[in-house]
Amino acid sequence: MSRVVDLICAVAICAVAICAVALAAVCIAAEEGNVSVEIVTEVGTMTVELMPSKAPNTVRNFLERVDEGFYDGLIFHRVMFTFVIQAGGFDVDMNYREAPQTVANESANGLSNTRGTIAMARASDPDSAGAQFYINMKDNTSLDAAPDRPGYTVFGAVTEGMEVAEQIELVETGIVAGMANVPTEPIVIETIRRVEPTED
């Protein structure tokens, strides 16, 4: 009888272990798959597909900021026609919101700064990207990595609502708080949120 009980226990333990491994595999697959977010603004919503397989650290950092509500209430503070629209650093009063951390440059990932892609803004230090991002309004391949220098990390692309980006691109801009190319009427990000996958 004792052997039977031991055998049953062993089988149960194996079953639990197999289930745990399977669950972990599912979680890893979900983590490695592309994730979409919605950038909800006062003038409309853009859906952006993120690509963690190409820029894992950048996507992880961006989603951490999304999940903590970092972008809520910030504005598109740099709008340049036929170049980029940039956000993630300032509120409507031009108060700077500092990112809690920076992320290593991942620009040599095969993704290019083509129209409709999203990339991280940074200072001259290649590893200084924190929370600010921009959407390319034309093909800006000069921002890509080159053999002799790092570029700006592309980590996703707009899949819906590019017309919203185009509307933002056309707003009147000026010098505000000593900064150029700032919309004279703030374009506020109400929130950025994950898009839950739909079941087929």
Which CATH number does the domain 34-194 belong to among 3.40.190.100, 3.90.25.10, 2.40.100.10, 1.20.1420.20? 2.40.100.10
Tens of pLDDT, residues 77-127: 999 999 999 999 999 999 999 999 999 999 999 999 999 999 999 999 999
Domain ranges for the chain, please list them.
1-32, 34-194
* Cα maximum dimension of the chain: 85
pLDDT of 24-61, one tens digit each? 333 333 445 899 999 999 999 999 999 999 999 999 99
Q: Angle at Cα 151 formed by Cα 37 and Cα 95, nearest 5°?
A: 60
Helical (H) or strand (E) element with 14: helix 2-32
Residue 65 confidence (pLDDT) above 90 = yes
